Amino acid sequence: MNPYHQSLTLIGMPGAGKSTLGLLLAKSLAKDFVDTDLLIQLEHRKTLQDILLEQGYLGLREAEEQILLKAQYPNHIIATGGSAVYSAKGMQHLKHFGPIIFLDVSIDLLEERINNMNSRGIARPADQTFAEAYAERRPLYLQYADIVIDCRNKSQEQLVSEVIYEEADAFIQNDA
């Protein structure tokens, strides 16, 4: 696949910066941007938190899987919800469009960034702490990632450059 037509899918925990970095990457790479959390909200005409309250965390994950499976986004930066990795079918579908990039952020920094934990619409059991969700999800992020970006002590500009470099390097390696 031509790197100018392939998409990049960003995965990671809530607060990892997928949407923010995704917009910057889209601008830098002249690609369209899509945020699957927004697509869920638009389709359901509700916030993620409202879906979570009405249908439970498994209902929210099901809504997310349906959005992932419908995705047809060549030449996009795709920011997924933090729980996208619970859908093996959804992740395999996204891989058809290009590499999956895990934004690896420490639990300490994530907890510092997330100050609206109970209203953000995070698809997890009510009794599961954010740290427990992190411990459960991190192996899944690593499993699906084609590229892992260590986000510690890096500016948004540094992260954009690193993703672009790693993505180009991965494309060259796969093409060889």
Instruction: Specify the length of the chain in residues.
Output: 176
**pLDDT of residue 41 exceeding 70:** yes
> Which pLDDT belongs to residue 166?
81
- Structural domain for 113, as ranges: 8-175
Residue 3 counted as domain residue: no
- What's the total number of domains in the chain? 1
Alpha-carbon distances, residue 126 vs 51, 93, 104, 119 (angstroms)? 14, 29, 24, 12
pTM over cut 0.75 = yes
Q: In this predicted structure, what is the pLDDT of residue 25? A: 94
Q: What is the mean pLDDT of residues 142-171?
A: 88
Looking at residue 65, its pLDDT comes to: 94
Give the span between the Cα atoms of 31 and 85, in whole angstroms.
23
Q: Name the helix (H) or strand (E) containing 163.
A: helix 156-175
103-153 confidence digits (pLDDT tens):
999 999 888 887 666 655 677 877 888 889 999 999 999 999 999 999 988
- Flag whether 136 is in a domain: yes
Output the average pLDDT for the chain: 88
Give the torsion sign (CA, 117, 119, 123, 127).
positive
- State the CATH number of the domain containing residue 110: 3.40.50.300
2 domain residue, yes or no: no
Tokens (6 digits) for 58: 């498994």
Residue 134 lies in a domain: yes
Residue 1 lies in a domain: no
